Structure 1
């Protein structure tokens, strides 16, 4: 039996476009806490159109990975990076270089109809790169994920975010903030696309180390979970190439249908991120607008942060761990849990020593 199918008329900048939507009544969020029934695929497609302008300003014209769920958020999710077979011509792509050195086309969303197409492909979460498609090797924003660890919560990330904003201001950067849609906060600072990902990662590490010096009992740069304690983890590895986080105005695949939402700094204290949902964000945008609307107007430079990085190198603070899927990087510490590390099994460059 063929699935139900409807045709949506989507307003693009160059005119209206028809986009087919199959299974419009499928429950993407079967039981959201709003109490007004399931959020269907059709409702998600409507949300995509209502938030298209700020969504594209934050996530458009850049490589993006789509986190897809064929039968709603209770089903197993998977990621699409490359355009699947049959991708329509109004969905663009750009060839990017991954950390392995492999090059491959990756999806780029540039218009409302492309977002609705992604919903048709059962996308729930959108994960944009920090760089634009026109220059995909060089980020246009510095990103820092403040990730609460067990024993901490969202409220514990708020003072860390305020302190990080001051650190970045001292480095000549203006910070913007959004909820993660879960327990954490994402701090972004627009930058000129003058450096490739590894250099920007070093700038993030420098900022994180400075924040850690100021709040040693509240935040940590420790990559290994066993060393973090009840502190906010400054996730510096989100600055790597092809490492992404949920984009601004992207829903999350969580029971509450929460949305990763830009907020003003003066909204942060006492904020309840659970109230930002697929059903509430369109009205919020109508009432208060987009706090990130001017985000890219005055990008800064990371020169001061790179000076801090070099200073820390001179003081003996070197490279930090990379994610496990990355190739071994120069100067990287051993990829072994500290509690399991036997010093005699590793050389000074962090490489395992053969028996």
Structure 2
């Protein structure tokens, strides 16, 4: 029996590479009939912008054994047989354990990841050359039940103003689902915990300005119908879908950078692996100059200290993290009251 395969040509710093795509006709998005080969070609088409956003960073691959509705797993370290143009970097995880993590240095490496059945790419907020110090402050605006993309838009606009007051220029992208991701380039001179505290400070300021619309409540039972500012996405080894990464959702949507001017006029559904390549050709990459003028989190850390003095302490960490200094009890409020 002849195995089905295709070849994709990818430009690289070393010349053109011919990459084999096995099972190219495997349907990844059943509702649209989009295949593994369609995904590989998408990565090639958006390659420069994809690499600018995600390249040179530790990255976790979200891989699928079949289509997006099937079995999936997350892959961090290079699998056996990885080509020589796919490298890794040693990183430290929250547990204190060190391990090599994948790094994508050229578009061919991303296409190879597709060959390895990757659909979603999750890059770190730091670069491989300095993995302990993020060069991006990232804030995830996560709509809760009863809210959606429409409610996330004014929250993002208000957050932009908050970050501007703190001396940071911000950039925005769709999550590919219902929310929005706001990024600010920063000098990579502070470690993850400091950046997390800066994010909490910005989130609390946003919450003060939009108390009926935005929340920093970690426990779902306390969030209500508001936009949750997910501060824990700023932690070490916590990632979100990268810019121009596809999502494992029925519409083959993409987490797509947009300009602030178009925010009120777009929908997540506008950006898919079918539409984004043409969009890039027509309008260019809104994030092309993101790291031209990085800022600092100094002002946000002053706000963090101000809030500490006012009695606002540390917030909960994810459950797989070790207990952190000053962290409140890791039990949802309703259970804590019942126990008491």
Scaled to the shorter chain, the TM-score interval is over 0.9
Contact preservation (8 Å) 2:168, 2:184: yes
1:202 to 193, 197, 213: 197
Residues 1:10 and 2:10 are matched in the alignment: yes
Partner of 2:23: 23
Distance 2:174 2:285 in 1: 14
- Partner of 2:60 in structure 1? 65
Give me the whole-angstrom Cα distance separating, in 2, the residues matched to 1:89 and 1:270: 43
Q: Aligned with 2:61: secondary structure? A: strand
Does the CA contact (< 8 Å) of 1:68 and 1:124 recur in 2?
A: yes
Alignment of 1:1-355 (within 5 A): 1=1, 3-32=3-32, 38-342=33-337
* C-alpha distance after superposition, 1:99-122 (max 9, x if no partner): 000000000001011011000000
Deviation string, structure 1 residues 225-247 (Cα, Å, up to 9, x no partner): 00000000000000000000000
Do 1:62 and 1:129's aligned partners in 2 also have CA atoms closer than 8 Å?
yes
Per the TM alignment, residue 8 of structure 1 is displaced from its structure 2 partner at its CA by 2.2
Q: Per-residue deviation at 1:5?
A: 1.9
Q: Which contiguous aligned blocks of 4+ residues in structure 1 show a shift greater than 3 angstroms?
A: 342-345
5+ long unaligned stretches in structure 2: none
Distance 2:76 2:330 in 1: 27
CA–CA distance in structure 2, aligned partners of residues 95 and 275 of structure 1: 37
C-alpha distance in 2 between matches for 1:164 and 1:301: 16
Assess if the C-alpha contact under 8 Å between 2:94 and 2:237 holds in 1.
yes
| Distance in 2 of aligned mates of 1:46 and 1:6 | 11
Structure 1 stretches of 5 or more lacking a match?
A: 33-37, 346-355
The offset of 1:19, in angstroms, is 1.3
Give the Cα separation in 1 of the matches to 2:325 and 2:99: 25
**Alignment RMSD, CA only?**
1.1
